[in-house]
Each structure stands twice: as structure tokens, then as C-alpha cells.
Structure 1
Amino acid sequence: MQIRVKCSCGENCPEWAMIELQGVVEVQPQFQDHLQNLKIGLLCRPSSSETYTFTIGYHELTGTKLPLKKPLLVMNKVKDGGEEGGPGRVELEVIGIIRYRILFKTRPKALISKAQPIMKDRGALAMSK
């Protein structure tokens, strides 16, 4: 079978990046059937272009941007219906290119806020005495 590859974006395909995590990201049971478009965290570049933070729930990961040895293409499969019910032709459309990976190889930092101090109401204390 012949698979054609076409790029409709011209010479400048959008740049994508790959995120590499050490360990496992577990999905809560209520989201098992709804993984598409599921927001799992917040990716930020706080200071330099080489350092990134990835916040997942109450955990923050710090990673670095590294070039890939060979670029990867991001493709979309496009099926073309065949004539008179015959097998259709398959084409792959290039929608992006990945030249970098963001590697998170350190243990996550816990984001735990301090408990608020308990303020006692003086009026309530006077009434209870």
C-alpha cells in the first residue's frame, strides 16, 4: 500500500515539543473514558528559554529543553474514499514538526501552602466565660 505524505503548511510547519516524564501519570477513575482534551497540568517557562515548570495538581516538576537527535513529524491521517466501494487511498498530512523535548527527570516538589492561623473571636471568648 502506498501512503502519500503532504504538507499543506508550506515551508514553515508549526513547532511542537515533546514532554518526557519519569514515572507514571495516573488518571482518576472518573476521567478514564474522557482522556481526549483532558487538562492534566500547567506548563510554564518562568525565566529562561531552557528551563520549564510543569504543575500537576499539588506537584511541581522542573525540566530542561533538549534538542532531539532527529526531528519527528506530527501527522494527521486523511482517508480518501475509493471509487465504487473499493479500498480508499490513505494520505498523511504533516501538521507539525518536533525538534525539541522537555525532559523532567527530577522528583516533583510538593506545593503545600501553610495553614492559616486560627483567629479567636474575643467576643465569643467573653461570652463563654
Structure 2
Amino acid sequence: MQIRVKCSCGQGNCPEWAIVELQGMVEAQPSFKGQLQNLEIGQLCRPSAQENYTFTVGYHELTGSKVPLKKPLLVLKKMSHMEADQSSDLKSSRVELEVIGIIRHRILFKTRPKALISRPQPVVKERVSVQGSIVPNQLA
């Protein structure tokens, strides 16, 4: 069987993709098990012009870097075409693979996540005055 690979984006104009590589597993909550497509799991940022990245998932922050792949990978989309043969009643299918992107880098997060814990807000204690009205304490 012959499979044709075609690129409609032109030579050198394919969109760049990247692989995000994490250590461990990312598990969805049971309520999302059947709806994983287009599920947002976190926020990926590059805070500076360097090749450092941060990935925030809930209350956890991972720090990673951009690493080139030894060999680039293609992102392909399978397209099958049914063709009817005029000389006989047989139908044949033709399979083509369309290039929709190329992967040249991976973003590697190899350290353990850092917990994002914010400082609690100062509590304003209230005191009761002699007349029974509530007066807030002054913070020094």
C-alpha cells in the first residue's frame, strides 16, 4: 500500500509545534474523564527573552527549558479518499498524509513542582469598647 505525504503550507512555511515533556502524570478529575479534548490544564509562559519556561498547574509551578530534538518530527493528518473504479464495481481507498506541522524542540520540565502558597492577609481584630460598640484595632 502506498501512502502519499503532501505539504500544502509550502517549503519551510509549516507551523512550528513543540513537545511539552513532564515528569510524572497529569490526571484529570473524574468529572472530566470523557471530555479531555480542549481541556485547559494550566498556563505555559516564557517570562523573559531567554529559553526558560514556567508552567502553572493549579497551585504548582514548574520551571523548564527549551531543548532541540536530534531529529525533527512531523505532525500528520490522515486523509482517506474512496474511489470508484469504472471498469468494475470495486471501490478502492487511497490514503494520504498531510503535513500540518513540524516539531523541532521540546520544552522539558525535569524538576519537581514548586508549591505556590500566598501569604495570608493580616487579620483585623476587633475589640469591644466600654459602651458596647465594636471598634477595629489599629495595626502598627
After TM superposition, the score normalised by the length of structure 1 is: 0.90
The whole-number CA distance in structure 2 between the counterparts of 1:58 and 1:72 is: 33
Find the counterpart in structure 2 of residue 47 from structure 1: 48
Q: What CA deviation, in whole Å up to 9, does each residue of 1:99-120 have, x standing for no partner?
A: 0001000010111111112213
Equivalent residue number for residue 86 of structure 1: 91
Cα-Cα RMSD: 1.7
Aligned: 1:101 with 2:102: no
Amino acid at match of 1:109: K
Runs of 4+ in 1 over 3 A off after TM superposition: none
The structure with more radius of gyration = 2
Higher strand share goes to which structure? 2
Taking the aligned partners of 2:50 and 2:93, their CA distance within structure 1 comes to 44
Aligned to 2:138: none
Q: How far did 1:17 drift?
A: 0.7
Provide the C-alpha distance between the structure 2 equivalents of 1:15 and 1:113, rounded to a whole number of angstroms: 36
Matched pairs, number: 127
Q: How far is the alpha carbon of 1:31 from its aligned partner?
A: 0.6
- The residue type paired with residue 90 of structure 1 is V
- Cα distance in structure 1, aligned partners of 2:116 and 2:60: 6
Unaligned runs of 5+ in 2: 135-140
Deviation at 1:48, TM superposition (A): 2.9
Name the SS for the 1:95 alignment partner: strand
SS of alignment partner, residue 10 of structure 2: coil
Aligned-partner Cα distance in 2 for 1:47–1:85: 60
User: SS of the residue aligned with 1:73?
Assistant: strand
Percent identity, aligned pairs only, is: 69
Distance 1:5 1:111 in 2: 46
TM-score (norm 2): 0.84
Answer 1 or 2: which has greater helix percent.
1
In the TM superposition, what is the alpha-carbon distance from 1:128 to its structure 2 partner? 7.1
**Matched residue, 2:76:** 75
Give the gaps of 5 or more residues in structure 1. none
Local SS of the residue matching 1:30: helix
